[in-house]
Amino acid sequence: MTLDATVRLDDRAVDVSLSVADGETLALLGPNGAGKSSVLAALAGLVRPDAGHVTLDGRVLAGDTWVPAHDRDIALLAQDARLFPHLSVLDNVAFGPRARGAGRRGARATGERWLAEVGITAYAHRRPHELSGGQQQRVAVARALATEPRVLLVDEPLSALDVEAAPDVRDLLRRVLADRTAVVVTHDVVDAALLADRVAVMEHGRVVDEGPAARVLGRPRSDFGARFAGLNLVRGVAESGALRMPDGRLLHGLAEEREDPPVPIHDGARLTAVVAPTAVGVHLTHPHGSPRNALTATVTDLEPHGHLVRVRTDTLTADITPGAAAELGLRRGSAVVLSVKATEVHLHVTGTDL
């Protein structure tokens, strides 16, 4: 099953071509106004392209014919949960199956199954206003999937969540997107690295870079991709729940598992660690508090990065304030110690055991 689209929206200056293979997750990245959400709206059937086509496994959804949104077998998960306030959590999830002709009992059974799948069965009879933002987004995921869509479109699902709720919902999305055809719009480098198989970078309504996620994020071919790729990616081998780096040092983190419940990472598996530069502390001596990760390094470059200073080392890249850089007296060749909380290191399997 393949989703193919060529979409031109003249009033939004969008002209893109995309193809998503069966079971693949494609992430759309780009600055605000690049046209990412407009592409999702066209795929979902919420706006009609001025030219082009959208086909799902050979079935024409837009082009010579026009298939309305409710007949496309495509579900859209938006930034906000947009739950029906007058319905219970269970009835929100059962709404889709009911709208497609399922009986009340069958629809509620489907709703109960998906609430269990997203881990929120205990809240089945509450109203949306009684839930936290993270809980509401879990319900939204269940509602989107209860109709068994062939394609899931995800538009910045974590942007409205607080920092405590976002990791849990990210783990949920990683699990439900496994082997599911999906298109995800995100501004978060961690989301792109952990959720997507392929990445397409959009600028000014055009796709300017596209390829496997590791290549696009690690070796970008566009200005936005280069700015976006400030993410630290460390590859190595699993050992005792941590990542053994090529230089022999251990990097401790949290496993990002597709399985639920999580399955321990076996020693010898190929791992990739994803670390945001803002999560990396820079010190002249070993920091107090004994962080799980304290790595000696040598500064290779210093450069402005927005309102921060980007400190590049032979181990990781860190973003710190100008005041901190001045206080530390950093320069090329400075010996430093990098600290990273294990909770800020996202580990995921990238290959079979060695």
Q: Domains in the chain, please, with CATH?
A: 3-223 (3.40.50.300), 230-349 (2.40.50.100)
Residues 175-199: tens digit of each pLDDT: 888 889 999 998 877 788 889 999 9
More confident residue, 158 or 302: 302
* pLDDT of amino acid 261: 47
The mean pLDDT of 332-350, rounded to a whole number, is 90
Rounded distance, CA 270 to CA 245, Å?
11
Q: Are strands 346-353 and 254-255 parallel, antiparallel or unpaired?
A: parallel
User: What is the spatial distance between Cα 351 and Cα 271, in angstroms, rounded to a whole number?
Assistant: 7
**What is the per-residue pLDDT for 351?**
58
pLDDT of residue 131: 94
123-181 pLDDT per residue, tens:
999 999 999 988 998 899 999 999 999 999 999 877 767 677 778 888 888 888 888 99
pLDDT score of 333 more than 50? yes
Please tell me the least confidently modeled range out of 72-76, 273-277, 308-312. 273-277
Query: Average pLDDT for residues 63-85, to the nearest whole number?
Result: 90
Percentage of the chain surpassing pLDDT 90?
58
- Whether residue 264 is predicted with pLDDT greater than 80 in this model: the reply is no
Of the pLDDT bands very low, low, confident and very high (cuts 50, 70, 90), residue 227 is: low
Cβ distance 24 to 197 under 8 Å? yes
The better pLDDT of the pair 146, 256 is held by: 146
CA 207 to chain centre: 19
Mapping DSSP to helix (H, G, I), strand (E, B) and coil, where does residue 40 land? helix
